[in-house]
Amino acid sequence: MSQQAILEQGIKDAKLDISAQTQQRLLDYLALMQKWNKVHNLTAVRDADEMVILHLLDSLVVLPFIDAKHLLDVGSGAGLPGIPLAICLPDLQVTVIDSNSKKVSFMRQAKAELGIANLEVLGGRVEEIASTKKFEIIISRAFSDLSLFISLTHHLLDAQGKWLAMKGVYPEVELAELAAKTGVTASKVEVLNVPGLDAQRHLAFLPYQPVSNHSK
């Protein structure tokens, strides 16, 4: 199967509504990632077909849970899941941040080449971002353990907002440690079914709570 066919079938299996034009933009983004990957090692995944599943479909399965106007993707790397979400949801303002300068350069190139007007790319450490801007959703995909994720980003979450943590296996130990350290508890943990992927995926929902001992 071609990358296009794998993506199209995966979107159908995940019961997502993504137009053919948007699917092409997602494939253009993936092609750009493959081009840069030859020089800059953006991702350890090299196989083109695997990239469709492990990067695009793995990001797209969270689409039904994105109900916000402003989203921050922390430790975005090559732009995952932030750039696929920005491509699919043009009314969503997406900010991606990473501390790796090569990955930041790639995301800026993707924004320019693909014309992603609703994407903002930041370079640096998330804890150093000024807290004047607040986000209704802060999402991460394999960024860190939950306690560190919450503590580093707490100043950026809107009081009515939530953290979404993309995880592999059910993060039982991390959730227990988070509750013990910060008092933040998950409102729910959804099982994510990624078409073509024979591995567990979960999405933890963590509503905003004041935390007295979070990192400043």
| pTM metric for this prediction | 0.95
Tell me what the pLDDT averaged over the chain comes to.
Answer: 94
Strand boundaries in the chain, DSSP class E: 70-74, 93-98, 119-123, 135-141, 157-167, 188-191, 202-207
Model confidence at 216, in pLDDT bands (50, 70, 90)? Answer: very low
124 in a known ligand binding site: no
Domains in the chain: ranges and CATH = 3-207 (3.40.50.150)
Q: Are 94 and 119 in contact (CB under 8 A)?
A: yes
Per-residue pLDDT of 134-184, as tens digits, reads 999 999 997 889 999 999 999 999 999 999 999 999 999 999 999 999 889
190 in a known ligand binding site: no
Please choose, from the candidates 215, 163, 166, the residue with its C-alpha nearest in 3D space to the C-alpha of residue 187.
163
What's the average model confidence in pLDDT over 29-39? Answer: 93
The CA–CA distances, whole Å, from 153 to 31, 142, 212 equal: 31, 15, 14
Of 12-16, 37-41, 160-164, 193-197, the range with the lowest mean pLDDT is 37-41
More confident residue, 182 or 114: 114
What's the confidence (pLDDT) of residue 56? 97
What's the confidence (pLDDT) of residue 215? 43
Strand order in the sheet with 70-74: 119-123, 93-98, 70-74, 135-141, 157-167, 202-207, 188-191
108 in a known ligand binding site: no
What's the confidence (pLDDT) of residue 186? 96
Per-residue pLDDT of 46-66, as tens digits, reads 888 999 999 999 999 999 999
104 in a known ligand binding site: no
Model confidence at 80, in pLDDT bands (50, 70, 90)? Answer: very high
What's the confidence (pLDDT) of residue 214? 43
